[in-house]
Amino acid sequence: MNKKTQPITRRQSIKAAAAGTAAVFAAPAIVRGQNLNDKIRVAIVGMGGRAKAHAESLVDLEKESTSGVTLAGICDCDEAKLKSAETVWTERSGHKLDTYDDMRRVLDDASIDAVTFATPNHWHSLNVIWGCQAGKDVYVEKPGSHNIFEGRKMVEAARKYNRIVQHGTQCRSSPNIVEGIDKLHQGVIGDVYFARGIAYKIRGDLGKHAPRPVPDGLDWNAWCGPAPVHEFSNFQHRRWHWIWDYGNGEIGNQGVHQMDILRWGLKLDTHPVQVSSVGSNYMQENVHQSSAETPGVLSTSLKWADGKMVEFAVRDWYTNAEAGFRDKYPFVQKDFPVGTIFLGTEGTMIIPDYSSYYTFLGRNREPGPSAFEEGSPISNLPHFRNWALAVRARNPEFLSAEIEQGHHSAALCHLANIAYRVDRTLHFDPEKETFKDDAQADRLLTRPARGAFTVPDVV
């Protein structure tokens, strides 16, 4: 077999993407069937907070001659955001960018090969579905779905239209965390019998819903998209993570990263069969008197058919950092407020950020294998590089976080929220993706249709 055409494993693709290795990009031509010197022209939809990470990664990839990527366009339904982003990223990229005020114009543009979506959660699944239907490859922010029904539909769209769809859980492309999970699977802490995730972030006063006129230049109907159209306010527009119609609370915002690592570490490729979740929104309701709807404190337990269990905890105010490890690694500057903890028969492993792991062995918690970087940086570039490699090779198996992995991880967050909202233990059918004899909980698996923005039953 010719060396250039030898199969590349998923593990090789992840390591190469993390390191920026050039050799693995010797792959088949890109989607439009052009030669390897052609660029994969990418547009970003949604120029809010996460768009910066998308644009920075794409601009950096453009500088790598082997990546075959160029940032070609940007899109937002807010004219002010679009103009500001155009100024910044034209300068940073060093070339003109196409601008769009409606994502459908991006999808209709035959010159665009792939799209990254940095929109709010309520848009994610329809973003993926429309992108796949338009023949584009897709990178979508986490969580990939607003609810479980829509998550399944985005997976179906990726399969039906044969698209390369990456989910934005970038820890899957961290070489240190890849190493840690490999060692976990090899038995570094023995048999893993339990795992726990935490998302402890001080959120402060999230504010009140105070309706006012929609700002000039913002298409509020388009921003709401598949979700109900509420009266505009700064709270609705900027605090959407904490509103059920638009977001999924802290467990869906931050917690999906840790849920993904828990699933990965425990090799959980099916949904759980049982979930219970209790919590409250005490700080926002009683101290800050904000309009936030989602719980600031949440304690969730999930159980799988084989008996494996996961716990997850959310806290939004002062707390200890549960995954602390400075007693054994005093040079680390801080205890992180997010993380995953694996408990085994011979020790424990913690993954306290986006780029490191630590093990502690035996009764005395002696330091075992670890890998870390000073400052524990959050790097998005390897994850985008991994996506570009898969797009270039036309092979979804190269992806670190293929969209079905994203669906399963996001579903854990949705199940936790549903159990909290109905306030009882729920039993779930992993195959049917419905609850057992619980119509009230089933109603929260999806949301009401909204005209042209409805996620279809058949994609």
Residue-wise pLDDT for 151-180, tens only, equals 999 999 999 999 999 999 999 999 999 999
pLDDT digits (tens, 9 = 90+) for 16-41: 565 555 434 444 434 444 444 578 99
Residue 35's pLDDT is what? 45
The CATH number of residue 41's host domain is 3.40.50.720
- Do 294 and 337 have their domain in common? yes
Looking at the chain, how many residues does it have? 459
The CATH number of residue 335's host domain is 3.30.360.10
With bands split at pLDDT 50, 70 and 90, how would you rate the model's confidence at 376? low
- Do 187 and 283 have their domain in common? yes
- Do 272 and 199 have their domain in common? yes
- Give the pLDDT mean for 233-238: 97
Residue 118 lies in a domain: yes
Residue 66's pLDDT is what? 82
Asked if the peptide bond before residue 143 counts as cis, ω within 30 degrees of 0, the response is yes
Q: What angle do CA 430, 259, 123 make, to 5 degrees?
A: 80
- Give the pLDDT mean for 106-111: 98
- Do 80 and 106 have their domain in common? yes
Residue 294 lies in a domain: yes
pLDDT digits (tens, 9 = 90+) for 180-191: 999 999 999 999
Residue 445 lies in a domain: no
- Do 163 and 68 have their domain in common? yes
Residue 3's pLDDT is what? 30
Higher pLDDT among residues 126 and 326, named by residue: 126
Residue 24's pLDDT is what? 42
**Residue 292 confidence (pLDDT) above 80:** yes
Determine the Cα–Cα distance for residues 317 and 284; give it in Å rounded to an integer: 10
Residue 32's pLDDT is what? 45
- Do 122 and 199 have their domain in common? no
Residue 30's pLDDT is what? 43
Residue 58 lies in a domain: yes
Q: Which amino acid, one-letter code, is at 179?
A: E
- Give the pLDDT mean for 200-223: 97
Answer for the pair 346, 190: CB distance below 8 angstroms, yes or no: yes
- Give the pLDDT mean for 359-388: 89
> What is the domain count for the chain?
2
CA 248 to chain centre: 12
Residue 348's pLDDT is what? 95
Percent of the chain at pLDDT exceeding 90: 84
**CA dihedral in degrees (209, 210, 215, 221; nearest 10)?**
50
Cβ atoms < 10 Å from Cβ of 194: 14
With bands split at pLDDT 50, 70 and 90, how would you rate the model's confidence at 323? low
Residue 351 lies in a domain: yes
Residue 36 lies in a domain: yes
Specify the range with the lowest mean pLDDT, choosing from 55-59, 80-84, 321-325: 321-325
**Residue 214 confidence (pLDDT) above 50:** yes
**According to the per-residue pLDDT averaged within each range, which of 4-13, 125-134, 365-374 is highest?**
125-134
Residue 325's pLDDT is what? 64
Residue 33's pLDDT is what? 42
Residue 103 lies in a domain: yes
With bands split at pLDDT 50, 70 and 90, how would you rate the model's confidence at 217? very high
CA 454 to chain centre: 22
Residue 105 lies in a domain: yes
- Do 352 and 398 have their domain in common? no
pLDDT digits (tens, 9 = 90+) for 328-342: 665 555 667 899 999
- Do 117 and 181 have their domain in common? no
- Give the pLDDT mean for 303-325: 89
**Residue 295 confidence (pLDDT) above 70:** yes
Percent of the chain at pLDDT exceeding 70: 88
Residue 379's pLDDT is what? 85
- Do 323 and 430 have their domain in common? yes
- Do 101 and 187 have their domain in common? no
- Do 21 and 124 have their domain in common? yes
Residue 67's pLDDT is what? 84
**Residue 12 confidence (pLDDT) above 90:** no
With bands split at pLDDT 50, 70 and 90, how would you rate the model's confidence at 378? confident
pLDDT digits (tens, 9 = 90+) for 247-278: 999 999 999 999 999 999 999 999 999 999 99
- Do 299 and 416 have their domain in common? yes
The pLDDT mean for the chain works out to: 91
Containing structural domain, residue 346: 175-207+240-373+409-436
